[in-house]
Chain A
């Protein structure tokens, strides 16, 4: 099946810092989503971005589908940005319809 690798696995930053999270995937995709899992376990949709660039406030994302990677940018980090960030993809070649998730990047923002 399709492989999804996220880096770095862990990241500790001071409040106000910027960060870039990376997602590499092994095959063509119909869907790529970024999620934030908060400390209570809830998954929050950040971006639906199978290709191109999107921005939402301090967050932006870019997917280069031809090169099979996506980047999530967080600017001016706040403590509420802490949590785990997941990249998930839907393989475009058929088979099971569910998303394949990476193992996540655990982000800690210190005050």
Chain B
């Protein structure tokens, strides 16, 4: 089974609709992240969370919100979707339990289309 899962894997929605993307992990990691990827570009950070009580904005947080429901679950919401939020969305995790290793592990991605 995959260590980092994302649901849904594909979604088409209409402008103005609220949509939630979900991420779950079984790696036991404390840190979780949401990124988006636009065609022909690398990933950009939307939000990240160090633990359930610590949530931080990334480079492109406008138009998005997040919820860390548990150590293993991190959700991304688009309150009112717009077409330029059409992108591939990735969730990632990392473990900072004093190991000094900062490797991030990515989920399979959610392809979101806003019409």
Interface residues, chain A, CB within 8 Å of chain B?
A: 1, 4, 30-31, 33, 35, 41-43, 45, 48, 50, 86, 88, 90, 96-99, 101-104
Contacts and interface: CB of A to CB of B under 8 A. Distances in A.
Given A96-B59, A101-B43, A30 B106 contact: no
B103 A33 contact: yes
Given A96-B48, A99-B45, A103-B41, A41 B111 contact: yes
Contact of A48 (B44, B56, B101): B101
Contacts of A33: 103-104
A21 to B, nearest CB: 14
Interface in B20-65: 31, 33, 35, 40-45, 48, 50, 56-59
A42 B42 contact: no
Contacts of B88: 41
B42 A30 contact: no
Nearest to B44: A101
Contacts of B35: 98-99
Contacts, number: 61
Nearest to A99: B104
9 contacts: A33-B103, A41-B109, A41-B111, A43-B109, A45-B105, A50-B102, A99-B43, A99-B92, A99-B104
B90 to A, nearest CB: 7
Contact of A98 (B33, B103, B109): B33
B44 A103 contact: no
A51 to B, nearest CB: 12
Contact of B45 (A4, A35, A86, A96): A96
A48 B59 contact: no
B89 to A, nearest CB: 11
A45 B103 CA distance: 9
Given A96-B59, A98-B45, A103 B105 contact: no
B45 A30 contact: no
Contacts of A102: 42
